[in-house]
Amino acid sequence: MPIKVPAGLPALHTVKNEGTVVEDLTTSTSSTLQIALLNIMPMKEATEVDFIRVLAASEQEVELTLMKLDTHTPKNASPEHMQRYYKGFGELRNRHFDGLIITGAPIEKLEFEEVTYWNELCEIMEWAKSNVTSTLFICWAAQAGLYHKFGIQKYLLKEKMFGVFPHRLHRKVPLFEGFGEVFYIPHSRHTELHCEDIVAEPRIELLSDSEQSGVYLVQERGTRNFFITGHSEYALCTLDEEYKRDLSKGLPIEPPTNYYKNNDTSLPPMDLWQEDARKLFNNWLRYYAKS
């Protein structure tokens, strides 16, 4: 379906050049879903591409607003890009959105209160209660949201959770319409949530996990809010790029699990998740963001 993004956004052209069929939406109507993306990932344009790709594959008509923090200046994005295509939280606080996506950030080894923009992020999470129909908290943002709302702690892993892992459902909800009993999700993180902490909190429900990668998807009961520890939105090449980046830095890193055929890093990655990623975001827009 058509998607509307800030005029001239390079990420839209990148998605089109990949071969993704994208129809430009020029005029929004009452049926257009208003989606905000709070992008706190360091590589802004790559993250824009990832989410435009999955949202543009939806059956729903979407207008995407790029949101930035007012109290944080990104180090890896040009000021011109942020000024031209993003709106600060202060500019958007009086608007209502059908959906909000809060991305992860590579700061998971920090205590939450040590994050320089923690107070503003907490303010946005509180604002979303009355100004957003459905919120997706992705990776570190899932941990941050569960900590802010319910006091759920994160735990440092001995080694990076890195690869594409099989997952199972605990309860079939519309978000997982069209999924099989087993499905694959990419993960790339240094911290985890403990399943026993999730199930002990009555205000939230564990919907999916993995024997290998642990807690995957949690829903806040009585709301349309989801906390997602993995990266369904990732492009096929993302883990490959992360692996080679860490190798070049001399960091201790193993090849991503279940990613290269026969675990041979000279072979192209296997696509085990992208079809389900499109289903996930389409289901979210259709059943949760849409009133």
What residues are labeled active site? Answer: 139, 231, 233
Rounded Cα gap, residues 29 and 159, in angstroms: 48
- In angstroms, the CA 225 to CA 216 distance is 14
Closest CA to 48 of 23, 16, 15: 15
Q: How far apart are CA 207 and CA 136, in angstroms?
A: 14
Residue 26, amino acid: T
Determine whether 8 is exposed, middle or buried from the number of CB atoms within 10 Å of its CB (0-12, 13-18, 19+): exposed
Phi first, then psi: what are they for 100, rounded to 5°? -130, 130
Whether 37 and 67 have beta carbons less than 8 Å apart is answered as yes
3-state secondary structure string, 18-71?
Answer: CCCCCCECCCCCCCCEEEEEECCCCCHHHHHHHHHHHHHCCCCCEEEEEEECCC
